[in-house]
């Protein structure tokens, strides 16, 4: 009735899905709810209810909630209230405090605020505000930077609502809202983004970001035609593993950081440097027109890294191998280009330390071949394709065969004999070395046992077998060797195990324990490649070695550099004082032999005496009671005197 009579001051209709119409009307100060439902047979049924009291209760609740919300906000949020008709703004104390301001520092104008907004954010803010006012959506919310009184920008999130002049112009007349400081959150977000794109050790861009930069360069080049020249360099430190193993990871990290800083110093504007993996760096050169330019750059980079690094009081030298990829090779993606540089880097590694190689597409095939080799190796261990060769170790007092070092070869069905350098590192990486090493060990021991049976006192004193780092870390190693020796009935005293310096330095305590246990089996121990790691003899006397093998590189360089002979002399002297024998490796020339004899080395091994031999040929040598005429050999007349 109220509806029909039009006495209602205000009406609100709501039509439900089932056709029910709900009408609220304010009559004589009371609020009446009318629910009108259609009847199936036609007509309506109206239900009236006085909801004044319910409304009052709701209103009271709303007010108290609002007050509560305001209070809560006031504690952490700054409030602002902008009267658009007068263009005056009220800023709450909290709002002012957030920006380090006092009430007397603001005039109560929008400019107080707007002039502090970061220039980069001002447009976006204005756009957000305009779009809100145009659409009249629920509320207005945006984030931007504002200048604090300490001259730093803080990040704030602002939300607000407009009050509209519904009866009059329909324009907004007031904007009210709050502001909170979100600098902390922004910093966390930025750190997250940073961590995803930068390496934590060196602070350099990581692989993902580097790829992105290469891609940008490729796009730019595609747009500019072939004019824009650039190159991708893949750098890998030589012998980083040795440094890491012998000096420790922390020093290793310091070296990486120093290398990064030095490389950064060598770059030009626009170039990028990235850390790709442990000791791998990428460089994007953007000022190279030709291949020659890129190669020249590689030379400079290598020269820059050649000077000593000073790490915790030690001088450390390092060098890099560099693979270079140029866009002229026609790469589809940034990944392809980086992979090409990586492949070229591996080629450079083959050429030795401090080399560089420019990628050409034929290398791709080779890289795939390597992959094939790796999968073949898995089968090699099962199919008994690993064999061992025997290189005589010659006594420098008698000229007789004192023993043999056994050297593994892989007898590949198609490729023939594969050298250890081409499969031992793979085998180390994928764990196959355990099987391969075990086979080499067993075969060597079987040969030794057979020679003892056959030749009695003409059999060599012992057989020297190389251990890999994995084998040395295997907790079952000692027991396995013990079982194997017992099984084939070979005394441990006939076996000598060779362990490299860097393998010991990796985990000195555990290694010392293993080595002592091995000694208890009666086997003797050699330290291999001595002089190539970073250990010192005084340190090494803590390990139970019987023999020290001077690395081939010292022997080879002995003639050119007198100081190498001096190093060998010192090593031999100290070794003897510690009661250890010395074996010189890689003896190739009579002059080397002469010097080594003068320096008091007990044993020598090398092509001058013999290349590694088959089991047959090694056995023949023993049967013939081979004895080298050392005097003649050191004069360069030796080979005739069989
Ligand atoms: P290594 O233990 O230093 O072995 C000596 C290497 O020097 C051998 O290379 C040997 O053939 C080579 N050599 C000997 N005399 C001369 C010489 O007068 N001049 C020159 N230039 N080289 C000489 P090979 O057989 O290629 O073995 C290389 C490395 O592979 C070995 O270095 C050793 O670390 C590893 N290796 C070989 N067999 C095994 C194995 O059964 N197990 C493990 N874990 N490593 C092995
Ligand atoms: Ca060896
Ligand atoms: Ca060696």
Backbone angles phi, psi at 132, to 5 degrees: -65, -45
For 422-466, how does the pLDDT look when each residue is reduced to its tens digit (9 = 90+)? 888 888 877 889 889 999 999 999 999 999 999 999 999 999 999
439: tokens are: 């086979």
> Ligand 2 mean position to 165 CA, how many Å?
92
Q: Which atom of ligand 1 is nearest to the CA of 551?
A: 3
Nearest CA-CA partner of 340 in 266, 348, 423 = 348
Q: What is the pLDDT of residue 4?
A: 46
Selection from 87-96, 238-247, 358-367, 486-495 with the highest mean pLDDT: 486-495
Q: Which residues contact 61 (CB under 8 A, 6 or more apart)?
A: none
Ion ligand 3: residues, Cβ under 5 Å: 528-529, 585
> Ligand 1 mean position to 349 CA, how many Å?
18
Report the distance separating Cα 329 and Cα 327, nearest Å. 5
Strand blocks (E) in 1-152 = 11-15, 21-27, 30-38, 44-50, 78-83, 88-91, 140-147
Higher pLDDT: 164 or 233? It is: 233
Please say whether the beta carbons of 463 and 495 come within 8 A: yes
Q: Which residues contact 194 (CB under 8 A, 6 or more apart)?
A: none
611: tokens are: 């290349």
Q: Which atom of ligand 1 is nearest to the CA of 409?
A: 38
> Ligand 1 mean position to 420 CA, how many Å?
7
Report the distance separating Cα 286 and Cα 214, nearest Å. 10
> Ligand 2 mean position to 179 CA, how many Å?
72
pLDDT higher than 50, residue 394: yes
Nearest CA-CA partner of 263 in 318, 182, 311, 187 = 318
Report the distance separating Cα 316 and Cα 243, nearest Å. 8
Q: Which atom of ligand 1 is nearest to the CA of 587?
A: 18
Higher pLDDT: 24 or 641? It is: 24
Of all protein residues, whose CA lies closest to atom 41 belonging to ligand 1?
408
269: tokens are: 């504007």
Report the distance separating Cα 481 and Cα 523, nearest Å. 10
> Ligand 2 mean position to 240 CA, how many Å?
21
Please say whether the beta carbons of 92 and 79 come within 8 A: yes
For 140-178, how does the pLDDT look when each residue is reduced to its tens digit (9 = 90+)? 889 999 999 999 999 999 988 888 877 777 788 888 888
Mean of the per-residue pLDDT values of the chain: 87
* Cα Rg of the chain (Å, integer): 41
Q: Which residues contact 440 (CB under 8 A, 6 or more apart)?
A: 386, 388, 406, 408, 465, 466
Q: Which atom of ligand 1 is nearest to the CA of 428?
A: 44
pLDDT higher than 90, residue 230: yes
Selection from 96-105, 108-117, 286-295, 614-623 with the highest mean pLDDT: 614-623
pLDDT higher than 90, residue 388: yes
Of all protein residues, whose CA lies closest to atom 27 belonging to ligand 1?
420
Share of the chain above pLDDT 70, in %: 90
Mean pLDDT, residues 318-334: 92
Q: Which residues contact 445 (CB under 8 A, 6 or more apart)?
A: 463, 465, 484, 485, 488, 490, 495
Please say whether the beta carbons of 585 and 555 come within 8 A: yes
Mean pLDDT, residues 46-71: 71
Q: What is the pLDDT of residue 539?
A: 67
Nearest CA-CA partner of 293 in 260, 258, 326 = 326
230: tokens are: 């650039």
> Ligand 1 mean position to 343 CA, how many Å?
25
Report the distance separating Cα 474 and Cα 119, nearest Å. 63
> Ligand 2 mean position to 642 CA, how many Å?
26
Q: What is the pLDDT of residue 74?
A: 55
Which residues' Cβ are closer than 6 Å to ligand 1? 391, 407-408, 419-421, 424, 437, 440, 466-468, 498, 528-529, 552, 585-588, 605-607, 612
pLDDT higher than 90, residue 137: no
Q: Which of 409, 420, 431 to mutate to test the pocket of ligand 1 (most atoms within 8 A of CB)?
A: 420
Higher pLDDT: 268 or 137? It is: 268
Q: Which atom of ligand 1 is nearest to the CA of 388?
A: 41
Of all protein residues, whose CA lies closest to atom 7 belonging to ligand 1?
586
Nearest CA-CA partner of 385 in 406, 410, 407 = 410
**Helices H / strands E in the chain, number of each:** 24, 25
For 34-57, how does the pLDDT look when each residue is reduced to its tens digit (9 = 90+)? 777 777 777 777 777 777 777 777
Of all protein residues, whose CA lies closest to atom 20 belonging to ligand 1?
586
The pTM score is 0.55
Question: Distance between the two ends of the chain, CA-based, in angstroms?
Answer: 134
> Ligand 2 mean position to 585 CA, how many Å?
9
Of all protein residues, whose CA lies closest to atom 23 belonging to ligand 1?
586
Nearest CA-CA partner of 32 in 62, 59, 54, 64 = 54
Model confidence band, residue 501 (pLDDT cutoffs 50, 70, 90): confident
pLDDT higher than 90, residue 585: yes
For tokens 């658009």, what's the residue? 84
Higher pLDDT: 96 or 60? It is: 96
Q: Which of 380, 381, 386, 407 to mutate to test the pocket of ligand 1 (most atoms within 8 A of CB)?
A: 407
For 174-217, how does the pLDDT look when each residue is reduced to its tens digit (9 = 90+)? 888 889 999 998 888 888 888 889 999 999 999 999 999 999 99
- How far CA 593 is from CA of 534, 590, 600, 605, in Å, comes to 26, 5, 11, 10
Q: What is the pLDDT of residue 561?
A: 79
Please say whether the beta carbons of 492 and 522 come within 8 A: yes
Report the distance separating Cα 595 and Cα 473, nearest Å. 37
For 528-548, how does the pLDDT look when each residue is reduced to its tens digit (9 = 90+)? 988 776 666 666 778 899 999
Nearest CA-CA partner of 616 in 351, 388, 337 = 388
pLDDT higher than 70, residue 477: yes
> Ligand 3 mean position to 315 CA, how many Å?
25
Concatenate the DSSP letters of all residues of 181-193 into one string.
E-HHHHHHHHHHH
445: tokens are: 């021991």
Nearest CA-CA partner of 437 in 371, 503, 368 = 503
The β-bridge partners of 25 are 11, 32
Backbone angles phi, psi at 118, to 5 degrees: -55, 130
pLDDT higher than 80, residue 581: yes
Burial 283-314 (b: 16+ CB within 10 A, else e): bbbbebeeeeebbebbeebbeebeeebebeee
Please say whether the beta carbons of 89 and 110 come within 8 A: yes
The ligand with the least distance to the CA atom of 406 is 1
> Ligand 3 mean position to 594 CA, how many Å?
20
Q: What is the pLDDT of residue 431?
A: 81
Of all protein residues, whose CA lies closest to atom 15 belonging to ligand 1?
606
The β-bridge partners of 311 are 314
Of all protein residues, whose CA lies closest to atom 3 belonging to ligand 1?
529
Share of the chain above pLDDT 90, in %: 51
463: tokens are: 């057989």
pLDDT higher than 90, residue 125: no
**Neighbouring C-alpha atoms within 13 Å toward the C-beta of 114:** 14
The β-bridge partners of 273 are 283
The β-bridge partners of 21 are 15, 36
For 353-376, how does the pLDDT look when each residue is reduced to its tens digit (9 = 90+)? 999 999 998 888 777 777 777 778
Please say whether the beta carbons of 133 and 162 come within 8 A: yes
Distance of CA 445 to the CA centre of its chain: 41
Of all protein residues, whose CA lies closest to atom 13 belonging to ligand 1?
586
Q: What is the pLDDT of residue 2?
A: 47
pLDDT higher than 60, residue 1: no
Mean pLDDT, residues 515-522: 96
> Ligand 3 mean position to 500 CA, how many Å?
8
Sheet holding 231-237, edge to edge: 272-277, 280-285, 231-237, 320-325, 356-358
């Amino acid at each position: 009735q109220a509806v029909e009579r039009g006495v209602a001051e205000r009406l609100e209709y709501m039509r439900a899905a089932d056709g029910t119409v709900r009408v609220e009307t304010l009559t004589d100060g009371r609020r009446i709810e009318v629910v009108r439902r259609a009847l199936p047979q036609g007509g309506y049924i109206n239900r009236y209810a006085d909801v004044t009291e319910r409304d009052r209760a709701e209103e009271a609740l709303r007010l108290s909630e609002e007050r509560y919300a305001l209070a809560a906000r006031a504690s952490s949020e700054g409030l602002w209230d902008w009267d658009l008709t007068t263009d005056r703004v009220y800023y709450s104390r909290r709002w002012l405090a957030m920006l380090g301001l006092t009430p007397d520092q603001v005039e109560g104008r929008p400019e107080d605020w707007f002039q502090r907004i970061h220039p980069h954010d001002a447009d976006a803010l204005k756009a957000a505000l305009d779009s809100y006012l145009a659409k009249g959506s629920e509320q207005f919310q945006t984030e931007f930077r504002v200048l604090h009184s300490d001259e730093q920008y803080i990040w704030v999130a602002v939300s607000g609502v407009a009050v509209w002049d519904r009866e009059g112009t329909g324009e907004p007349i007031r904007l009210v809202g709050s502001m909170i400081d979100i600098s902390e959150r922004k910093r966390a977000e930025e750190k997250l983004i940073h961590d995803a794109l930068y390496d934590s050790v060196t602070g350099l861009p990581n692989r993902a970001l580097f790829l992105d930069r290469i891609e940008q360069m490729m796009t730019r080049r595609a747009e500019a035609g072939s004019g824009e020249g650039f190159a991708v360099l893949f750098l890998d430190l030589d012998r980083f593993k040795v440094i890491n193993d012998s000096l420790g990871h922390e020093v290793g990290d310091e070296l990486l950081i120093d290398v990064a800083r030095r490389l950064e110093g060598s770059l030009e504007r626009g170039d990028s440097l990235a850390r790709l993996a442990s000791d791998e760096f990428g460089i994007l050169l953007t000022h190279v027109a030709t291949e020659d330019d890129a190669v020249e750059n590689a030379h400079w980079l290598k020269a820059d890294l050649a000077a000593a690094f000073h790490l915790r009081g030690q001088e450390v030298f390092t060098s890099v191998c560099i693979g270079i990829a140029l866009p002229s090779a026609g790469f589809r993606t940034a990944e392809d280009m980086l992979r090409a540089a990586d492949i070229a880097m591996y080629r450079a590694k083959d050429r030795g330390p401090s080399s560089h190689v420019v990628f050409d597409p034929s290398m791709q095939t080779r890289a795939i071949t390597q992959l094939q080799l790796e999968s073949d190796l898995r089968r090699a261990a099962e199919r008994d394709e690993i064999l061992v060769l025997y290189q005589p170790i010659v006594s420098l007092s008698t000229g007789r065969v004192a023993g043999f070092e056994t050297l593994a070869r892989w007898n590949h069905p198609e490729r023939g004999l594969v050298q250890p350098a081409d499969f031992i590192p793979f085998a180390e990486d994928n764990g196959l070395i355990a099987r391969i090493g075990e086979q080499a060990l067993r075969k060597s021991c079987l040969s030794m046992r057979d020679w003892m049976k056959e030749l009695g006192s003409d059999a060599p004193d012992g057989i020297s077998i190389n251990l890999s780092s994995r084998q040395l870390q295997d907790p079952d190693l000692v027991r396995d060797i013990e079982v194997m020796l017992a099984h084939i009935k070979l005394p441990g005293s006939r076996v000598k195990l060779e362990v490299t310096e860097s393998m010991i330095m990796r985990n000195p305590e555990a290694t010392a324990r293993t080595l002592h246990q091995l000694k208890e089996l009666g086997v003797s121990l050699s330290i291999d490649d001595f002089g190539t790691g970073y250990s010192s003899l005084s340190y090494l006397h803590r390990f139970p070695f019987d023999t020290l093998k001077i690395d081939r590189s010292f022997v080879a360089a002995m003639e050119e550099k007198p100081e190498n002979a001096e190093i060998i002399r010192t090593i031999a002297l100290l070794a003897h004082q510690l009661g250890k024998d010395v074996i010189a490796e890689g003896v190739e020339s009579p002059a080397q032999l002469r010097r080594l004899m003068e320096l008091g080395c007990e044993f020598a091994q090398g092509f001058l005496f013999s290349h590694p031999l088959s089991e047959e040929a090694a056995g023949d040598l023993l049967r013939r009671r081979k004895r080298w005429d050392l005097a003649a050999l050191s004069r360069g007349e030796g080979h005739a005197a069989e």
